[in-house]
Structure formats: structure tokens, C-alpha cells
Amino acid sequence: MSRWLRIFLLAALALSAPSLADAAGLRTRLTPALIQQVFPGAEDVGPDEGTPPALPVTIGGVVAGYIFSTRDTVNATGYAGTAFDLIGGMALDGHITGAALLEEHESILDRGVGRAVMDKFVAGFAAATLNDWRAVRADQVKGATTSARLMKSGMQAAARVVASDRLPQAPAEVPTLDRVHVETATVDELIARGALMRWRVPMRDVARAFVAAGGDGAAPQHARADADAAFLDVQLALLTPPAIGANILGLQRFNEAMDRQGEGGLALWMANTGTFPYAATGRTQLTTGFFEDTVSLVQGGLTIRLRPSMVRGIRATGGDGPLDDIDAAVVFLPPDAGLDPLQPWQLVVAVPGRSANGAALSVPFALTYSMPARYIVQPPPSPPAPPPAWVEPWTEHRIDIAVLAVLLVVVTAVFLSQNVLTRRPRLYAATRVAVLAFTLGWLGWYAGGQLSIVNVLAYLQAPVTGTPLTTFLLDPILVILSAYVALSLLILGRGVYCGWLCPFGALQELSNKAAVALRIPQLRVPVAVQERLWVVKYLAAAAIIGLTFFAVDFADSAAEVEPFKTAISVRFDRELPYVLYAGALLLIGLFVERFYCRFLCPLGGALAVFGRLRMLRWLRRRPQCGTECRICESACPVGAIAPSGAINMNECLQCLDCQVAYHDPGICPPLRARVQRRMAPPTGITVITV
């Protein structure tokens, strides 16, 4: 290894070494001015403790929000896979108070799009809230839309992570019984809502149940002769929600009941106007265990026996409740009883009696109670997760995507029908100029669809840097164009893109056509010189790709050999040296067609290498090409036809000029001779001229 090469590699490694400044915490990266920029009015900023790291901001001695960094929370990365450092502020209500771009490594900034433009875009984050970023539009940053989308997405992700841990949460994290809300309702309204349930079992049904369980002659206690009489006429409700209990007991007695219920407990109302006094007020029934043996609550595998200490009989008149004049009992369940009021449960009444042979018999009757949703406090609906960052540009640019699809269909149709098209020189010429003009004006200057060696670098680096596919999806025009180019490379080679879909290439060719029309002399590069100049673009591509893995910043600078940003992405609105460079290339192109494409373009060199894998060769040649005729060689605008007549597909831009000559008997001597032979009279026939 030579001494100079060793020096170069050491310098490249030094440039690519990571900075050690990142080891400092967020607090040390803030200045008083920066704090006010991201959180106006902040009076004090606390330490960056906890996970995720965020700095509490106090105003008037009270925490008003937090300051955080994308690098510290989600480590969001830019287009090239390098992390940027966005500082943001967020109030307790989720409002973004401000943002500032502290550090970035985006190649487009300061080389095509000013840093001030991106700073202005980031400052606009103050118009967003945690769940609403519609006011922040990345497509307003012309020339660096992908970088802007990545920064917006990074700030959204960081804000969501900080909010989930640091901001006050909703009071109800899970569905909870409403123990606070009070509303007036009649008994009929409570019954209609399902809050107060009425269950009537006639004597006829009870008698049948006993006969089924104990045979003919079996009967319950307290039997009645009237088959239609109500043996059980039950009213059941959960009193704990004030919107139910206060309307059944009356406000005063409800408050008393709640004092007895205690925190976290439950109170149930059981009333009965039927023959069987399961919920009567007599003290004998409460103290002798009658209630405990007769009534239970069942939920799943849980059975709760109602002990006398849990039951309070009610038989009052003149109170403020609408159900005062009936036998009732209020059952108090402690928090550890295990009943879940939000799930269905059953009141089971075990009616005692006798079987046909006189033995004791108990038949259960059950009523299922379900708490109406009206009396359940639901947690606030979780804000819908924001769609992936790449969805927005695909939605916003759906018309542009459709137009690009039409352009690609047209270019595909040109190649599928090239034998028909090139037989009509005027139609072919008009089609080519129209496609090139549209490629330059719409695809390049309007839609920003100029591929670059930077795109190739990004795809090559993705497996190393771990850049997700969604990063490339942030620019739908470029990703669709890249996919089409990759497919066309495998089928036909580099010429499909370089010859028809490269905006800068279109600019060169159209300007050269104008120069020819103005009779500006055209210079032809000698074959020997041309073959040596071809190597330059391959060396440029190899150097830039190689530097990418050793010195990213240096590779970005080296990529400025491409004039695409200047001439296409920012339409010459750039620093003077870059404009002069792009202008010089276009000026040379007036005399030497496609000068930059042929000799300097690293993107063309990279595509030519990958294009060697092409499957088809559609350009037609004749055996006489290069031997009896060399017209196509002299007519090829980029010198891609060798003296032997063979087409160098690595250099061919597939402009199809040679195919026009191939099909034109006025240009192609072998074709003209073939036509003349067909028109000649058959051998042996004498033509007599009169």
C-alpha cells in the first residue's frame, strides 16, 4: 500500500469517527435561550431523571410540562441513518410548546436547502398537540421533504413516549363503577334502563318446579291456592351508584347507607311483595339464619352467603324514597366479598318445602342482574395511533403518483412498440421531445423526481445502518421511480432511466437540440479519447460509494459532482459556485451532447454496473453493421456504437436513434439494397422497352 493511500484512509477514518460530545445529558445541552425557545415562560428546569429522560419545567413553582430530546428518547434518525437531535417542549395538556433542531447530519441541508428553512419548519411544531399534527406539513420544505418528514415523525414518537410516562393520566384507566354522578330518575325509568329489575314468579311455576324436583305432592312453604298469585315478586338493584341508589332510597337514606357501605364496598336493594317473605323485615328471620340459608349471590364459581351482619331490613313509611311501603332488605358487601359489579351476577332464592314423601326439599330460583353501561365510567378512548409517517405523503401526493404512473406507462409503451414507433421518424421525434420535456418540467422541477447517487448510497447503507423500509417510503415519487429503474435495469439496462427519465439528462439533450437548431457546431470526441473518459464516471461512483463506509460527510461532499440538486431540486436557487458548475456542464453540453451523462455521472456509472445483469437486448442490428455500413456509429449521439458495429449497452442511453436508421431505407444501405433486390425483375426474364 502506498504512503499516500495510507494517509488518505487514516484521514477518512478520522472523519467518520463518532463524536464524543453525545455523552453529555440533555440538561447540559440546553442554554437559557434554547429553553425559552422550546418552552416559553419556563422559570426553572429540573434534572433529567427517570425513563424516558425528560426535564420537568416549572412556572410559578408548579410543574407546567417537560422538555425532551428525540435523540435521548427514541433515537430518531435521518435519511442516511444518522440520528438527529430535536429538542421539544410539551405542556401537561399535550400541547407542543416549541421545538428546535440542535443537531443534524442531512446532506441536503446547507447544500441545497438552507438550514434556516428547516429551522422554520421545526419551529412550526408549536402548532401541534400530542394527538393532532395536521398543521405541520412536511411537503412545505421543498427539496428536503424526506428529511422534514423524518424529523416530524421523530418528534411525534418522542412526545408520545414522554406523555405516556410523565403527563397526568385519565382518572379511569379501566371501566369503573360510577360512584359519583347523581341524576334524577323515576322507578319506571330505572326499570326501563335495567338498573332496577323486577322478577315475578307465579305460584303455578313454583308448584311445577317442586313437582319436577320432588314428585307429585311436593309443595313449597307458604303455598297459595291461587295459581296466578305472585309467589316471588322481587325488585333488585345495586344501590352504590348514586344515580340508582339515591332514587330508590331517597337522598338522605342513601347517604346513610353509603356511610355503612364504606369505601370500596357495595350495597344491594332486595324488595319483595310476593307470598314468600324472603326479604321481610322481621328480626327473627334475620337472626335465626333464615336469610342466610335462603338467599345467596352467585357469580361464576363464587357463592356469597348473606350473613345477618350483612343485611339490614327496611320497612319505613313517610320517607323520601318511592319504595318505602314494601318489605325490603339492603345487603352490604365488603370490598373483599369478591363480587365484581361490572359483570353479571345472580340472586338465588332457595325456596324451602317438602317432597312427595315428606322429606325436606329446597328448589332454587335465580335472577340475573347486569349493570347497565350508563352507570359505568369508561376510560377515555385511547387516541387513535397515528398512521405510519409514510402514509401521509402517499395520501397527499396521490395525484402526483397517478401522473407518474402514466409517465412510466408511456415510457414502457415506447419500448414495447419501438419497432412500430421508429418506422415513423416524425412521430418518434415528437414523442421523444414530449417525454423529455415532461420529464424535465414535471418529474424534475415540479415533483422532485431526480434520482441521485445519494439514493444508491442510501439503499446500499440500509442493511448496515438498519434503516427501515418505511424511511424510503416517505418520498413516494422517488421510491416508485427507484423500483421502476431497478426493474428496467434487470430487463434492458441503464438506458431506460438515463435516456428517458433523468431530468438533468433531459435538460442536457433538450438544450443540445436547441443548440443544433441554432447551428452551434457539434464536437465529436475521438473513439480513443472517449473510451478513456468513460472510465471517469465509474471511478467517481466507486469513490463515492467507498467513502460512504469510511467518511460519510466526505462522501456527501464528493456527491456534489452531481449537479442535480442545483439544476433540478432547487432550480438554480443556490450558492454561486454550484450554479457556475452546473452552468458550465450545460454549456459544454451545447457542443458535446450529453457530456456529463457520458463521462462524469456517478449515478450513470453505478446503474451501468448493475445494468450488466440485463436479460434482453432489444436493439436490432444487421450483419453488415460495422463492415459494409457505419452510418449508425457516426449518428449515435453518445458514441455508444463501436467501429465493429456492436452497441456498448453500458454506454447506450437507448434513445432509439439507431433504430430509426435501421428501419429507414433512405438511410440504411443494407435495407435499401434489400428493397432494390425485391423490386428487381426475376432472373431469365427479358424486359422489352418500347
What's the rounded Cα separation, in Å, for the pair 190 and 452? 71
Is the distance from CB of 275 to CB of 341 less than 8 angstroms?
no
Tens of pLDDT, residues 215-224: 998 999 888 8
Query: Grid coordinates 413516494 are at which residue?
Result: 476
Which amino acid makes up residue 243? A
Render pLDDT for 131-172 as a digit per residue (tens, 0 to 9). 777 788 888 888 788 888 888 878 877 887 788 778 876 567
Give the pLDDT band (50/70/90) at residue 2.
Answer: very low
Could you give the CA distance from residue 563 to residue 202 in angstroms, rounded to a whole number?
94
Distance CA 238, CA 216 (A): 38
Give residue limits of the domains in the chain: 26-166, 176-376, 398-673
Contact 588, 134 (CB under 8 A): no
* CB atoms inside a 10 Å sphere around CB 346: 15
Report the amino acid identity of residue 147: S
List C-alpha distances in Å: 672 to 148, 341, 369, 424, 629: 59, 97, 99, 16, 12
Pairing, β 230-238 against β 266-272: antiparallel
State the average pLDDT over residues 388-416.
92
Q: Are 567 and 578 in contact (CB under 8 A)?
A: no
Mean pLDDT value across residues 429-437: 94
For 520, what's the count of Cα atoms within 13 Å in the CB-facing half-sphere? 16
Give the model confidence (pLDDT) of 610-655 as tens digits. 878 777 777 887 878 877 788 888 888 888 888 888 888 888 888 8
Q: Is the dihedral of CA 656, 658, 663, 666 positive or negative?
A: positive
Q: 115: which 3 cell numbers?
A: 438550514
362 compared with 612, residue with greater pLDDT: 362
Average pLDDT of span 65-78: 88
The pLDDT, as a whole number, for residue 409 is 95
Q: Cα(239)–Cα(620) distance, rounded to whole angstroms?
A: 91
In what order do the strands lie in the sheet containing 327-333?
A: 196-202, 230-238, 266-272, 327-333, 311-314
Task: For strands 302-305 and 176-177, give the pairing.
Answer: unpaired
Cis amide linkage into residue 32, ω under 30° from 0: no
CB 598, CB 534: distance < 8 Å: yes
- Cell numbers given for 524: 465529436
Burial of 20 (0-12, 13-18, 19+ CB in 10 A): exposed
What pLDDT is stored for residue 133 in this prediction? 78
Residue 529: HSE in the Cβ half-sphere, 13 Å Cα cutoff: 5
User: Which pLDDT belongs to residue 339?
Assistant: 94
Between residues 14 and 125, which one has the greater pLDDT? 125
Query: 239 burial class (0-12, 13-18, 19+ CB within 10 angstroms)?
Result: buried
CA–CA distances in Å: residue 268 to residues 311, 314, 332, 448: 9, 12, 7, 70
DSSP-derived 3-state class of residue 542:
helix
Mean pLDDT of the chain: 83
Contact yes or no for 190/248 (Cβ under 8 A): yes
Beta-carbon contacts of 529 under 8 Å, excluding residues fewer than 6 positions away, are: none
pLDDT of residue 6: 39
Would you state the pLDDT for residue 660? 86
Residue with grid cell 438498519, as numbered in its chain? 466
pTM beyond 0.75: the answer is no
Residue 273: predicted pLDDT: 80
Give CA torsion, residues 282, 287, 289, 295, to 10 deg: 50
Q: Which three cell numbers stand for residue 425?
A: 421518424
Q: Is the pLDDT of residue 576 over 70?
A: yes
Helix, strand and coil content of the chain, in percent to the nearest 5, comes to 45, 15, 35
Q: Are 350 and 362 in contact (CB under 8 A)?
A: yes
Burial of 394 (0-12, 13-18, 19+ CB in 10 A): middle
Q: What is residue 667's predicted lDDT score, i.e. its pLDDT?
A: 81
The 3-state secondary structure of 258-303, one letter per residue: HHHHCCCCEEEEEEECCCCCCCCCCHHHHHCCHHHHHEEEEECCEE
Q: Is 635 within 8 Å of 662 (Cβ atoms)?
A: no
Residue 438 scores a pLDDT above 50: yes
Quick: pLDDT tens for 288-334. Answer: 456 777 889 999 999 998 888 888 877 544 344 556 567 688 899 99
CA distance 102 to 87: 7
How far is residue 376's CA from residue 379's CA, in Å, rounded to a whole number? Answer: 10
Q: Which pLDDT does position 110 carry in this prediction?
A: 66
Question: What pLDDT is stored for residue 8 in this prediction?
Answer: 35
